[in-house]
Amino acid sequence: MTWQPYYTGTGTPPATPEDRVELPPAPPWREFPRRSLHERFVPPPGLVEAVNAALALRRPLLVTGQAGSGKSTVIEQVAAELDLGTPLRWHITSRSGLAEALYRYDALGRIHAQRLEGSGGSDDIAPFLRFGPLGTALLPADRPRALLIDEIDKSDLDLPSDLLDVLERGEFEIPELARYGADDVAVREWGGDGTHEVTRGRVQCTAFPFIVMTSNGERDFPAAFLRRCVRFTMPLPTPETLLRVVRAHMGAEAAGTDETRRLIGTFLERLTAGESLAVDQLLNAVHLLSGEDAPTEERRAAVEDLILRELSRV
């Protein structure tokens, strides 16, 4: 890329529109709207076998590894290659619960609508129901859906155990519909405007979804949960795999420079020493520091330290 002082710290606006500084093109992995990176993902040794085992056994795949190691990109590549549609995503926080992943019911909204419409108004429950990402993945279909359960180690301690029955049986109930007067209700799916007709509140999958659960390795999981998963740990990268990653994202020219090889060597030395770094930090460093128009030697060290800052440091 071309390194120049887009921002100089003076606070002085351009005198004319023609004097405005044009920002550089974004790196491919930071273009918006976001594009899937499935074609650029380079699976490490052993991952292909783990994915195929999970597919054949109809079991979730639990992928553990450092932040930025490509765990969440696995599902994009599998979904694209097997034509499973756009992956559904459930990003886990400490407040995430199983119920909201299966379906959402806006009880207060329904009560408010009933009050506005009066006794003669409609009591249609459908507008106030929506499947969650897991509930949508479990809908009957000819082909399995792809579902990412991201950072499951951030969850409440009970969530992995709560998932066991649903993932084992592949079905769940919506109590509000089981009690509802009509037998069939069309409920909106997650991530779109499509609907699925639910009969007497029961949902049962016909093709078990391909599920990838990611973990940063920050906690242990119950044995009952682990035995129902195919588990894979992302290995530390090698110089060859990192060169393939740079080539896939930035082209052969960027991957072939001395500066790129030096950055890869520094990156691996720090990883081996136990530092927490992400592969996308390496890509950022290569993007900014390689090529003829990279920062001068005086600024290079400062930029490298800024971009390759250890993740456990504030």
Tell me the per-residue pLDDT of 256-298, one tens digit each, with 9 for 90 and over.
999 999 999 999 999 999 898 999 999 999 999 987 777 877 7
Inside any domain, residue 21: no
Q: What's the CA gap between 280 and 286, in Å, rounded? A: 10
Q: Is 241 helix (H, G, I), strand (E, B) or coil?
A: helix
**Rounded-to-integer distance, Cα 276 and Cα 67, Å:** 8
Shared domain check, 250 and 201? no
Task: Enumerate residues 6+ apart whose C-beta is below 8 A from 53.
Answer: 59, 230
| Residue partners of 138: CB distance under 8 A and separation at least 6 | 102, 166, 170, 171, 172, 203, 204, 205, 209
CA distances from 227 to 155, 170, 224, 266 (A): 19, 17, 6, 38
How many C-beta neighbours within 10 Å does residue 1 have? Answer: 16
Buried residues in 6-17 as b, exposed as e (16+ CB within 10 A) = eeeeeeeeeeee
Please indicate, yes or no, whether residues 229 and 303 belong to a single structural domain of this protein. no
Q: Is the domain of 214 the same as that of 266?
A: no
Between CA 161 and CA 98 the distance in angstroms is: 10
121 within domain boundaries: yes
Task: Kindly state whether residue 17 falls inside one of the protein's structural domains.
Answer: no
Q: Give the domain-ending residue among 215, 233, 251.
A: 233
Closest CA to 77 of 58, 50, 59, 57: 50
- Answer yes or no: do 183 and 272 share one domain: no
Which residue, of 233, 253, 282, is where some domain finishes? Answer: 233
More confident residue, 190 or 248: 190
Say if residue 149 is in the same domain as residue 104: yes
Residue 119 confidence (pLDDT) above 60: no
Where do we find the tokens 């994915």?
Answer: 51
Q: How many domains does the chain have?
A: 2
Q: What is the pLDDT of residues 18-42, one digit of tens each?
A: 989 888 888 888 888 877 777 778 8
- Same domain, yes or no: 167 and 280: no
Residue 161 has pLDDT above 70, yes or no: yes
**Residue 222 shares a structural domain with residue 263:** no
Among 224-233, 264-273, 298-307, the minimum mean pLDDT is found in 298-307
Using alpha carbons, list the distances in angstroms from residue 289 to 245, 253, 256.
Answer: 17, 13, 13
What's the domain range around 295? 236-307
What is the C-alpha separation between 6 and 295, in angstroms, rounded? Answer: 13
Cα–Cα distance measured from residue 196 to residue 173, given in angstroms and rounded to the nearest whole number = 14
C-beta of residue 3 within 8 angstroms of C-beta of residue 293: yes
Same domain, 189 and 251: no
To which residue do tokens 């999970």 refer?
54
pTM: 0.85
C-beta atoms surrounding 158 within 10 Å: 11
At 4, is the pLDDT very low, low, confident or very high (cuts 50, 70, 90)?
Answer: low
